[in-house]
Chains A and B, each alone.
Chain A
Amino acid sequence: GQNIDQPTEMTATEGAIVQINCTYQTSGFNGLFWYQQHAGEAPTFLSYNVLDGLEEKGRFSSFLSRSKGYSYLLLKELQMKDSASYLCAVRETGNTPLVFGKGTRLSVIA
């Protein structure tokens, strides 16, 4: 079976830092992806982790611990335009399609 859990909603203040967690229990693991999805739009790729550790890309960072089945997305210096849903997705084996969590809706307030 497959289970990917994320908080449903989060609120954070402009200029602050927010961490969005994702835990997964899947039959296999061959990489974890984070996507951003603004309301009414398609998901867009943010980051990819396959080895343990932190990947940094500008204001966004993503961390992975394979032994704990855990990842987080860290957003720094929050801006109003970061208000969106953030989707965690796992590739279980080889080149199988991604399995998505339900997403976390982030609201950035002034």
Chain B
Amino acid sequence: NAGVTQTPKFRILKIGQSMTLQCAQDMNHNYMYWYRQDPGMGLKLIYYSVGAGITDKGEVPNGYNVSRSTTEDFPLRLELAAPSQTSVYFCASSPSGGAGETQYFGPGTRLLVL
């Protein structure tokens, strides 16, 4: 199993540009999550999904959109990039979000908005 994969690893965007961060998992997990991590800060939840076709907002959803058309994929869309979106983005998944289940993280995408 590849686990959770993310592309690209690193990207530089200009202010106002758009991009999609890709996330895929091959563990047949129902739950998937997007977090961002700023320097010296913990992980903040952007969006999450409990299954194909179902998404919900996290703590910091503004400026982002998601979709979940398949169990495997959970892309994160930035429509109008702003410097405040410079961060490291982690995608994660878990089988069914159960109480004792850990979340498995992808390697992250580093995004720089200039």
Contacts and interface: CB of A to CB of B under 8 A. Distances in A.
Interface of A is mostly: loop
Interface string A39-63: 0011111001010000000000000
Interface string A91-110: 10011111111110000000
Interface size class of B (residues with CB under 8 A): 20 to 34
Given A43-B43, A43-B90, A87-B43, A98 B107 contact: no
B99 interface: yes
B31 interface: yes
A88 to B, nearest CB: 9
B45 A97 contact: yes
A42 B5 CA distance: 11
Interface size class of A (residues with CB under 8 A): 20 to 34
Contacts of B58: 97
B99 A30 contact: yes
22 contacts: A31-B100, A42-B105, A42-B108, A43-B43, A45-B103, A45-B104, A48-B100, A48-B102, A50-B99, A87-B42, A94-B97, A94-B99, A95-B96, A95-B97, A95-B99, A95-B101, A96-B97, A97-B103, A99-B45, A101-B42, A102-B40, A103-B42
